[in-house]
Amino acid sequence: MGRLADKVVIVTGGTAGIGRGTAALLAAEGARVVVTGRQEAAGRDTVAAIAAQGGTAHYMRQDVTLEADWPTTIAATVKKFGRLDALVNNAGDCILKPIEDLSLDVVRAMVRINLEAAFLGVKHALPVIAKTGGGAIVNISSAAGLKGGIGGTGYSAGKGALVAFSRAAALEAREKNVRINVVHPGFVWGPGVIDAMGEEGAKRFRAACIARTPMKRVGVPEDIGAMVLYLVSDESRFVVGADVTVDGGYMAV
């Protein structure tokens, strides 16, 4: 039956990286997963990969920064699967630049995707999840939301604010039997790193990440997905408003 048998979960940014790895793990444990994102081909690839492993998934195009997309996505999910039990606010973006080279527009874009999108998700999903009798919302932040890094001021601003928002929202959601928690990934390896930095840049970055991580390896999407699985499942029924780091010990140093 699986740990998430019959549960319906939306995973935003589920077309690649952490989102794709998480969606696959949730589906493997019996969840019916709605994968959302702006890249239709990648979204359908994710769904096909899940189906090949015997899971149930459906892709919906969504821009999480547009409020109008949220009620549409949630209503379509309920229409297809009959309910909504959980939301994983995974969609995000990272632009690294020194402060003097960072425009206000870029900072606002970082806050919009890394904070405001999660706010919209919580706002619109909370009452629908409550109607099923309760469930869970997991917001994906970052170690950068807890610890500074050179060039990451815009990114850290959005992710750090997400932490404070999630703690406050968790108190309100508790009254509706919906648990909100935050996961802070450390250095997670994926194709997006190479796309952003190129082969040589990514190679140097990987070596630097390994050197700064006590476990001496970078994370993979499934490392984060395993924690999300726990927080979405009923096993974490007494976990509310928590900040959970999944970082190979990076924050312990």
- 59 assigned to active site: no
Which residues have C-beta within 8 Å of that of residue 246, sequence separation ≥ 6? Answer: 183, 184, 185, 186, 219, 223, 224, 227
Token pair listed for 131? 């109607």
Crossing angle between the packed helical segments 117-131 and 69-81, to the nearest 10 degrees: 30
Q: How many angstroms separate the first and last alpha carbons of the chain?
A: 40
Identify residue 125 by its one-letter amino acid code.
A
The dihedral region occupied by 216, where left means phi > 0, alpha psi between -120 and 50, and beta the remainder, is left
Check: CB of residue 221 under 8 Å from CB of residue 14.
Answer: no
DSSP one-letter string for 198-210: HHHHHHHHHHHHH
Chain centroid to Cα 83, Å, comes to 20
Smallest CA-to-CA distance from 190 within 106, 92, 119 is with 92
Q: How many CB atoms lie within 10 A of CB 90?
A: 32
Token pair listed for 116? 């405001």
Q: What is the CA radius of gyration of the chain?
A: 17
Of 59, 155, 230, 250, which one is the catalytic site residue?
155
Residues annotated catalytic, as ranges: 155
